[in-house]
A = this chain, B = another copy of it.
Amino acid sequence: MPAYDDLMAFQRTTEALGQVAGRTGWDQETVMPRGSAPQRAEEMAALEEVLHARRTDPRLGDWLDEAHAPDAAGDANLRELRRSYHRNLKVPANLASELARVTSLAQGHWASARAAEDTAAFLPVLAEVVRLRREEGAALAVGTNMDAYDALMQDYEPGGNAADMATMFDAMRPRLLAIRERALAAEEAPTLSGHFPQANQMALSREIATAFGYDFTRGRLDLAVHPFSSGSGLDVRITTRVDEDDPFNCIYSAIHEVGHATYEQGVDATHLLTPIGRGVSMGVHESQSRSYENQMGRSEAYCGWLYGRMRDVFGDIGVGSERDFYRAVNAVGSGFIRTEADEVNYNLHIMLRFDLERSLILGEMEVGDLETAWNDRFLSDFGVAVDVPSNGFMQDVHWSVGLMGYFPTYSLGNLFAGCLMAAARRDIPDLDTDLARGDPSAATGWMRKNLQQFGALRPPREAIEHATGEALSAEPLLTYLEAKFGDLYP
């Protein structure tokens, strides 16, 4: 067999095992009995051992040297495999396994330290994670012109770099601050009230997920502590969570995860279990979840429909008009928690994390200085003093599991979503009429046709530019936010 075919046959098994590992993670978060945890840790380690051995198998190097791709999809498969193979070769095996061991333990330490507001218990653990990730970043940077932070970022956003991020953030910051200033000076938005039974929230979330194009014959919706989407191809599962006093938590988490999941479900079937048979980057993934959740789900047109539907399901919900419901959905506040932030504040949270984690990885700051740096920056950016670490630097799991370089992809996703939805609205003039009927299918169909079906065929930025036919720019996102929140907070 030609080297390319041997390579792809070998890789298909690896991809299938990767899907099993992902689903084992899904099981752990949704249905696993609590007493199974110690055995599950050994099962996950066993799967990781097998996957690591396959991803660094010396035959991959030979095949990659000799392989000739039969077509453009083949070129893209080789591009993805080369990047992953050379990446994994650069990280010494003992560093990789030390990272796996330390980060898996650190997550538990983070959870209990956060619950106890115990900074002192968390810092030594975080210092160890930072030390190992600095080392990994340095190893990955060898032979490139990247610094350690940019090298780490490649795992989440191939082609991304901190300089571009900083330029993007510099362009966004003053305009976001101007919107926020006006919003915080204005009358407070209305809030929902009432009781929202779990069964009704889940039934409504299923109805909405289906309308947004989620295919339940190849997926399922369950409850988990933290909402997530898991899997590629023919088995892509999502979770949400329920607060019986706040239905938005469940519904908007579901729409968000449907954005991720339909990206995976939308990839052309010919790419199943190949390296390009999945979303191309975290940023492009987030462009889908943000387009679905925010640009469509929180639009005035869709909120008009959702208001009526929620009154059908829940009765009186404490707000008296479509407009007030729309204002409630898009209330701009000044909370501590990133995951609860509105569209305006969200990117300001990310800028804070981006600057701090980059300083940590580049050795410009030590872990011991992190809490003070966070609190100073939060006061200066948000005008509020952090009260407890769980509202401050200990709020996210990300750093404890070593995900430095990941945060900026959330803002990149918002930026991509701005470009994509501007193009979708250009091509679908009646989109708001559809959304006002609760029907996002024209836009989700547009996403599938112009972006989702290609999986990782094109690198992230190219994928967005191919879909929109325009050069990448922060302008569509900012124009959208200024128009939307200028109307909401005139």
Q: Is A62 in the interface zone, CB < 8 Å from B?
A: no
A234 lies within 8 A of B23 (CB) = no
Interface members, chain A 208-236 (any B CB < 8 Å): 215-220, 233-235
By a CB distance below 8 angstroms, the chain B residues around A17 are 43, 46-47, 50
By a CB distance below 8 angstroms, the chain B residues around A185 are none
Residue of B nearest to A12 (CB): B42
By a CB distance below 8 angstroms, the chain B residues around A20 are 20, 24, 43, 46-47
A19 lies within 8 A of B39 (CB) = yes
Task: Report the separation of the CA atoms of residues A36 and B14 in the bound assembly, to the nearest whole angstrom.
Answer: 18
Residues 40-83 of chain A, each 1 if its beta carbon lies under 8 Å from chain B, else 0: 10110111011000000000000000000000000000000000
Which stretch (A25-33, A388-396, A400-408) binds chain B?
Answer: A25-33
Q: Is A490 in the interface zone, CB < 8 Å from B?
A: no
Given A31-B220, A33-B235, the answer on whether A42 and B16 have CB atoms closer than 8 Å is yes
Shortest A244–chain B CB gap in Å is 20
Q: Is A13 in the interface zone, CB < 8 Å from B?
A: yes
A33 lies within 8 A of B233 (CB) = no
Shortest A276–chain B CB gap in Å is 16
Task: Report the separation of the CA atoms of residues A20 and B41 in the bound assembly, to the nearest whole angstrom.
Answer: 11
Q: Is A143 in the interface zone, CB < 8 Å from B?
A: no
Shortest A465–chain B CB gap in Å is 31
By a CB distance below 8 angstroms, the chain B residues around A38 are 234
Q: Is A352 in the interface zone, CB < 8 Å from B?
A: no
Shortest A223–chain B CB gap in Å is 13
Given A13-B49, A24-B23, A235-B32, the answer on whether A273 and B42 have CB atoms closer than 8 Å is yes
By a CB distance below 8 angstroms, the chain B residues around A34 are 217
By a CB distance below 8 angstroms, the chain B residues around A215 are 35
Q: Is A442 in the interface zone, CB < 8 Å from B?
A: no
Shortest A311–chain B CB gap in Å is 29
Shortest A103–chain B CB gap in Å is 16
Shortest A16–chain B CB gap in Å is 4
Q: Is A272 in the interface zone, CB < 8 Å from B?
A: yes
Given A33-B217, A217-B34, the answer on whether A234 and B16 have CB atoms closer than 8 Å is no
By a CB distance below 8 angstroms, the chain B residues around A50 are 13, 17, 50
B43 lies within 8 A of A16 (CB) = yes
- A residues near B (Cβ < 8 Å) are 12-14, 16-17, 19-20, 23-24, 27, 31-40, 42-43, 45-47, 49-50, 215-220, 233-235, 237, 272-273
